[in-house]
Chains A and B, each alone.
Chain A
Amino acid sequence: MRELICICCPRGCRLTVDDELNVTGNFCPRGIAYGKSEVTNPTRVVTSTVRINGSDLAMCPVKTSEPIKKGNIFKCMEEINKIQIEAPVHIGDVIIHNVCGEEGIDVIATRNMEKI
């Protein structure tokens, strides 16, 4: 049995997940999904920045389009850290395809940055 704090939303429900993966303490269904995955295959959305050329700022914020395996966070950072992009860039533009080899999960831009 594990006690967890749900991170799906700021409410932060206190969950209990038993050995049969039954989740209690959740306020909404997302808590059940989170509880199960946190015990079996914990994942996180990674947010960071990449270098951008030709815009007002040096950095463009990015995120993984879906949560990636928790164990892949620093590997994901290594991939992100190598990238340099050119302005303009728009929210949702794919920066890295299939990050850390996770099929269908991309690193995408999260800010509209125009060329100056």
Chain B
Amino acid sequence: MREVDLAIIGGGSAGLSAAVSAYDAGIRSIVILEKGPFLGGILNQCIHNGFGLTEFKEELTGPEFAARFIAQAKERNIEYHLNSVVSSLTKDKVLSYMNPEEGAVEIKAKAIVMAAGCYERSAGAIAIPGDRPAGILTAGQAQKFLNEQGYMVGKRVFILGSGDIGLIMARRMTLEGAKVLGVAELCAWSNGLNRNMVQCLYDYDIPLYLSHTVSKCEGKGRLERVTISEVDERKQPIPGTEKVFDCDTLVLSIGLLPNNDLLNNLGIPQGRSRGSEVNERLETSIPGIFSAGNVLHVHDLVDNVVEEARVAGKAAAEYILGTAEKTDNDIKVIPGNMIGYVVPGYVSSKGEGKATLKFRVREPSKNVYIVYTLNGKEIKKVFKPVIIPSEMEIQSLPKSLFNGESGTLTVSLVKKEEVK
């Protein structure tokens, strides 16, 4: 069986960044396994701009951003295989993949970086009521048909969910000649970035219905009609609030989920993000298996994905070289009041420097403190005039605040007036 130092599952932005970072940390035996026919992953179909402002200090489209990382990997001659789906992974880091050129291959790696990205929540996952005709599809599906193959999936379109891809597709389909009738969002706030609200909806006078959901789909072969209803605090449709739209297409932008079966099937515990639980080095409960990017938690910006993957790539390199600092993982990090999830799930109380925590809030809030408590004792608080779920928070905590104490670190949101 072939042996390599580092196998990276996924050749999108996270995988490429992890590979480059591991290479730069001294690892030469690296294999990237990409399931699709191109490196760069889903960025290739995200032809809109807005990528790279942090990473490259300029505004790039998805394919341009991907191309920069592809070039970095190619400059380093990092080995990659396309059309290569990894079908199994063992605790001993033996993975099987397959492609038409090499056939079925098993390789044993000293370390693994899981960078398989995410997938879109489907209509079935949320049980949209009514018929299930053609014409109900995810935003990413519509995007692939339109941007790569040149096909429109509909002419009169309604969109459920205000996630960024949904907003982007509202604009794309409008520009290509469709009539986008509106966007319904279950929450009382938009789940897309503000800039996308402006340049995708407001620019084209597309109405946004907050606190609404699709309460019925009708159509035999093809979708003919959707009914939306306002929802109550329990997110249940309120009778009498129905609005009916005659449309041939319902595009769904209702959330992304980590594509993490390979690690879940190893019994690696899942965090609240539905990615694997990791420590500060983005290492899972199995030493030498790391996770980064949208397979760990769904990011707001690709710039944050590549930064996170750099950490994983470097940590994997240190693991392989035997230079990794010992991590005690003696502090469990948990999401408290109003926090959806926190990554990483473990940090070490000892050591120099800072612990970087990433999390999302459950709903928009104004004038709040992010409060960190270690074993019930407040160790830090940070004031935020505005905090919203569509943006991922990245916060650093100096380890000196832990005072060498093990236990549970809780991240919570507390309203300004409730802070003593």
Enumerate chain A interface residues (CB-CB to B < 8 A).
4-12, 14, 44-49, 51, 56-59, 61, 63, 70, 73-74, 77, 91, 110-112
Enumerate chain B interface residues (CB-CB to A < 8 A).
37-38, 44, 47-50, 53, 59, 61, 63-64, 67, 146-150, 172, 175-176, 193-195, 197-199, 203, 300-301, 391
B203 adjacent to A9 (CB under 8 Å): no
A59 adjacent to B147 (CB under 8 Å): yes
B194 adjacent to A58 (CB under 8 Å): no
Contacts of B149 in A (CB 8 A): 57-59
Q: Distance (Å) between the CB of A90 and the closest chain B CB?
A: 9
A5 adjacent to B194 (CB under 8 Å): yes
Complex: A51 Cα to B64 Cα, angstroms: 18
Which single member of A45, A51, A57 contacts B59 (CB below 8 Å)?
A45
Q: Distance (Å) between the CB of A85 and the closest chain B CB?
A: 13
Which single member of B37, B61, B150, B198 contacts A59 (CB below 8 Å)?
B150
Contacts of A45 in B (CB 8 A): 49, 59
Q: Give the number of A-B contacts (CB < 8 Å).
A: 83
Contacts of A91 in B (CB 8 A): 63-64, 67
Which single member of B53, B59, B148 contacts A58 (CB below 8 Å)?
B148
Contacts of B61 in A (CB 8 A): 47, 61, 63, 110
Q: Distance (Å) between the CB of B153 and the closest chain A CB?
A: 14
Contacts of B175 in A (CB 8 A): 46, 48, 73-74, 77
Complex: A63 Cα to B53 Cα, angstroms: 17
Q: Across the interface, name the chain B residue whose C-beta is closest to A110.
A: B61
Q: Across the interface, name the chain B residue whose C-beta is closest to A58.
A: B150
Contacts of B67 in A (CB 8 A): 91, 111-112
B300 adjacent to A10 (CB under 8 Å): yes
Contacts of B48 in A (CB 8 A): 47
Q: Across the interface, name the chain B residue whose C-beta is closest to A44.
A: B199
Contacts of B64 in A (CB 8 A): 91, 110-111
Complex: A5 Cα to B199 Cα, angstroms: 10
Q: Across the interface, name the chain B residue whose C-beta is closest to A80.
A: B175
Instruction: Pick the most buried of A7, A63, A73: most chain B CB atoms within 10 A of its CB.
Output: A7
21 sample A-B contacts, Cβ–Cβ < 8 Å, listed by A number: A5-B195, A11-B391, A44-B199, A44-B203, A45-B49, A45-B59, A48-B172, A48-B176, A49-B146, A58-B149, A59-B147, A59-B148, A61-B47, A61-B61, A63-B47, A63-B49, A74-B175, A91-B63, A110-B47, A111-B63, A112-B67
Contacts of B150 in A (CB 8 A): 49, 51, 58-59
Contacts of B195 in A (CB 8 A): 5-10, 12
Which single member of A10, A51, A57, A77 contacts B193 (CB below 8 Å)?
A10
Complex: A101 Cα to B198 Cα, angstroms: 26
Contacts of B391 in A (CB 8 A): 10-11
B49 adjacent to A47 (CB under 8 Å): yes
A12 adjacent to B148 (CB under 8 Å): no
A48 adjacent to B47 (CB under 8 Å): yes
Q: Distance (Å) between the CB of A37 and the closest chain B CB?
A: 14
Q: Distance (Å) between the CB of B48 and the closest chain A CB?
A: 5
Q: Distance (Å) between the CB of B84 and the closest chain A CB?
A: 17
Complex: A116 Cα to B90 Cα, angstroms: 37
Complex: A61 Cα to B53 Cα, angstroms: 20
Complex: A51 Cα to B67 Cα, angstroms: 20
Complex: A12 Cα to B391 Cα, angstroms: 10
Contacts of B47 in A (CB 8 A): 47-49, 61, 63, 110-111
Q: Distance (Å) between the CB of B146 and the closest chain A CB?
A: 8
Q: Distance (Å) between the CB of B177 and the closest chain A CB?
A: 9
Instruction: Pick the most buried of B47, B203, B300: most chain A CB atoms within 10 A of its CB.
Output: B47
Complex: A55 Cα to B66 Cα, angstroms: 18
Complex: A111 Cα to B39 Cα, angstroms: 12
Q: Across the interface, name the chain A residue whose C-beta is closest to B70.
A: A112
Q: Distance (Å) between the CB of B101 and the closest chain A CB?
A: 16
B203 adjacent to A70 (CB under 8 Å): yes
B44 adjacent to A111 (CB under 8 Å): yes
Contacts of A70 in B (CB 8 A): 203
Complex: A11 Cα to B388 Cα, angstroms: 11
B53 adjacent to A5 (CB under 8 Å): no
Q: A10-B53, A57-B149, A58-B149 are in contact. Are A5 and B197 (CB under 8 A)?
A: yes
Q: Across the interface, name the chain A residue whose C-beta is closest to B47.
A: A61
Contacts of A59 in B (CB 8 A): 147-150
